[in-house]
Chains A and B, each alone.
Chain A
Amino acid sequence: MYVIVVGAGKVGLFLSQALKEHGHEVLLIEKDPDKCERLFEKWGELISLGDGSNTQTLLRLGGERANVVVAVTGEDEDNLAVSLAAKRLSVPRIIARVNNPKNEEIFKLMGVQRTISGTRILFNMVEQEVEMAAVLPFLALHRGEVEALKLEVAADSALVGQKISELGLPEGAIVSGLVRADRLLPVKPELAIERGDWLLVMAPSEVILTLESCLHLDECFEKS
C-alpha cells in the first residue's frame, strides 16, 4: 500500500516508521522547513517538504495513487484541510486525527468518517473504568458465546447474606468462584455471600442480560 502521512510530529513519525517496517510504501509530508531539514538526515527520501492541505502538493507527491492518507498534525484545522484535499483526489481511505473531540462533528459532516481522537479514547477508557468497577467482563470464550464476569459485592448490595443456591441464576450460568479477602473459596451451595466478595460468574452470552437482573447488577450501575 502507498500511505501518505501528513504531519511529522511524534504520531506521524512513529506511524511512518511502523508502516515502513511492515513493508508499506510511506511518504511523510511536513510543512515546516526547519523540522524537515532536521529529520531529513535520518529519514532521507521518506520525508518531503510541503503543505499536505494543498491539493496540488498532494498531486505532485502521488496523491492520486495513494491508498491511504493519514492526517496527524497537531492542529484540527490542518487535519480537516488535508482530509478535504485528499477527498478531492478520491483517495479511498482517509484517516484524520482530531485533537479536540468537539471538532469530530464537522469532520463527519464533511464526509471524513474515520477520525481518531486520543482525547476521546482516554476519556472513554477512564469513564469505563469508573462505571464498570462493579462488574468487569474479563473473558470471552468460544468466540464470545460464553462470557466470564467478575462482580464486587457492595456493602448495600441485595446479594449480601444470600446463599449461592438462592441466587436463582438463569439457565446455563454458574458461579465458578468466589474471592474473599484475596483468597479463592470453593463454591458450595450453602456458602453465604458477604460484602466485599468478588463473584466469578460464567454464563452463555444470551443470558447475560437476565443475569444482570438476577444479580442486581442494574442497581450497581445506578449507584456507580
Chain B
Amino acid sequence: MKILIIGCGRLGSLLAENLEEDGNDATVVDKRSAAFRLLPLAFRGKTVLGNGIDQDTLREAGAEGADLMIVASDSDNTNIMAALVGQRIFHIPRIMARIYHQSRISSYQEYGMETYCPTALVAGMMRESIKKGA
C-alpha cells in the first residue's frame, strides 16, 4: 500500500517505521528537516520537506496515487486542512487523523475520516481496565 504520513514526530516516525516493516511504501512529510532524525537509519521511504497543507508539497510526496493518508502533525487545524486537501483535491480514498482535542472528533467524522484521539483512547482503556479489576 502507498501511504502518506504528515508529521514526523513521535507518532509519524513510529508509524513510518512500522508500516514499512509491514511491506508498505511510506512517504513522510514534515516542515522541519530535523524531524526526520526520528526515523531509523534503515528507513528506505521518501522524506519530503514542506508544509502538509500545501498542494505542491503533497503532490511531490505522491498524494496523487496514495491509498492512505495519515495526518499526525502536532496541530489539529493543520491535520484537518491537510486531510481535507488529501481527500477533496487528491481523492485519497482513506484518511486517518490523529486529533488532540476530543471535542473535535464528531466534526472530523462528518467528513468521513477515521479519527484517533489519544486522550480519549487512553482514558477509555484505563476505564475498562478499572472496571474489570473491580
A residues neighboring B (CB under 8 Å): 53-56, 75-78, 80-81, 84-85, 88, 100, 102-103, 105-106, 109-110
Contact = CB atoms under 8 A, between A and B. Distances in A.
Contact of B103 (A54, A78, A84, A103): A54
Nearest to B52: A77
20 contacts: A54-B101, A54-B103, A55-B104, A55-B107, A56-B103, A77-B75, A77-B77, A80-B81, A81-B76, A81-B80, A84-B80, A84-B107, A102-B54, A102-B55, A103-B53, A105-B89, A106-B84, A106-B89, A109-B84, A110-B84
A106 B85 CA distance: 6
Given A55-B107, A80-B77, 19 more contacts: A53-B77, A54-B104, A76-B53, A76-B81, A77-B53, A77-B75, A77-B78, A80-B80, A80-B84, A81-B76, A81-B80, A85-B107, A88-B107, A102-B56, A103-B53, A106-B81, A106-B89, A110-B84, A110-B88
A77 B76 CA distance: 9
Contacts of A56: 103
Interface of B: 53-56, 75-78, 80-82, 84-85, 88-89, 101, 103-104, 107
A192 to B, nearest CB: 53
A53 B80 CA distance: 11
Among B55, B78, B81, chain A packs the most CB atoms within 10 A around the CB of B81
Contacts of B80: 77, 80-81, 84
B119 to A, nearest CB: 15
A78 B53 contact: no
B110 to A, nearest CB: 8
Contacts of A54: 101, 103-104
A110 B87 CA distance: 11
Given A77-B80, A106-B89, A55 B103 contact: yes
B86 to A, nearest CB: 10
Contacts of B104: 54-55
A115 to B, nearest CB: 14
A101 to B, nearest CB: 11
